[in-house]
Amino acid sequence: MPKNIILDCDPGYDDAIAMLLAHGSPEIELLAVTTVAGNQTLDKVTRNALSVATLARMREEIVAAGAHRGLVEPQHVADMIHGESGLDGVRLPEPAVALSARHAVDVIIDLVMASEPGQITLVPTGPLTNIALAARKEPRIVDRVGQVVLMGGAARGGNWSAASEFNIGADPEAAHIVFGEHWPVAMIGLDVTHRALATPDVIDMIDRVDSPVSRFAVDVLSYFQSAYSTYWGADSPSIHDACAVAYVIDPTLVETVDVPLHVELRGELTRGMTVADLRSRPDGGPTTRVGVSLDPERLWKHVIAAIETLSEVAR
């Protein structure tokens, strides 16, 4: 049976690939795409989500806009990577998918409460504001969500600061709430996603699919590569967000460990740090499943298969 997910995202180059992977994979039933301010402002990432949904021919999925800033932290955007639009350089179709009149938080709550317990997985790939607000507004969803598989954090290091990853650093209070609830959480962080490189060979394989969807993906990854090269001096970009979707499709793609994890809120240099206790001393307390490694070859097979599926639908 396909796994029901709600993809909460802030497109963003890698979020766009995550959307294609989720919609094009037979192992996934994408119920909704909800947006949150992160890589760019809420209006911009929501328009990007609607354009990607249009390109991918999403018909039944709900698209809804959510929080325009963090719970406490002032809004931050990653324009140095994703540009002024959030998807700079990429030609986007005019949105032909309707935006829901409901707030993303209400969409999340309504879908979870209308489903059998354990049937929906939340997959946030941006700041965790919407997920935290949903848990606070309707606490009963915590017992009904199957799991939360998030792209964010790191067991070691960061990219927003030396200690924090962008999605967590953009709203540490929301992350503190999400990690602190008693639903199962899998953190697919930088330890995993930095291995998911869109190398020239990968981009060439996608280009060979030769369809509007594949050409869009090639453009996304090419402009992402250019931004990575300029800002980080890296040869290939990491498709962070698609890793969380891939983990839902096949958890064996990612090696994980169950460890205590806390979000630092007060440190002058460590605010937003995900403090994973990797010491081998089981204490019987609550743990988070933390990704530590990834099989990139199998990840890309799933991504390319999804693009091929969407390309056949488009033809």
Which residue ranges make up each domain of the chain?
3-314
Q: Quote the pTM value.
A: 0.97
CA dist 47 and 95 (Å) reads 7
pLDDT confidence of residue 126: 98
The 3-state secondary structure of the chain, one letter per residue: CCEEEEEEECCCHHHHHHHHHHHHCCCEEEEEEEECCCCCCHHHHHHHHHHHHHHCCCCCCEEEECCCCCCCCCCCCCHHHHCCCCCCCCCCCCCCCCCCCCCHHHHHHHHHHHCCCCCEEEEECCCCHHHHHHHHHCCCHHHHEEEEEEECCCCCCCCCCCCCCHHHHCCHHHHHHHHHCCCCEEEECHHHHCCCECCHHHHHHHHCCCCHHHHHHHHHHHHHHHHHHHHHCCCCCECHHHHHHHHHHCHHHEEEEEECEEECCCCCCCCCCEEECCCCCCCCCCCEEEEEEECHHHHHHHHHHHHHHHHHHHC
Per the residue annotation, which of 82, 103, 176, 240 is the catalytic one? 240
Confidence of residue 179 (pLDDT cuts 50, 70, 90): very high
Q: Which of 164, 209, 192 is nearest to 299 (CA)?
A: 192
For 23-56, the pLDDT digits (tens) are: 999 999 999 999 999 999 999 999 999 999 999 9
Q: Cα separations (Å) of 236 from 34, 78, 214? A: 28, 18, 18
CA dist 130 and 170 (Å) reads 13
pLDDT confidence of residue 114: 98
CATH class of the domain at 3-314? alpha beta
Confidence of residue 286 (pLDDT cuts 50, 70, 90): confident
Confidence of residue 314 (pLDDT cuts 50, 70, 90): low
Catalytic, 240? Answer: yes
Percentage of the chain lying above the pLDDT 70 cut: 98
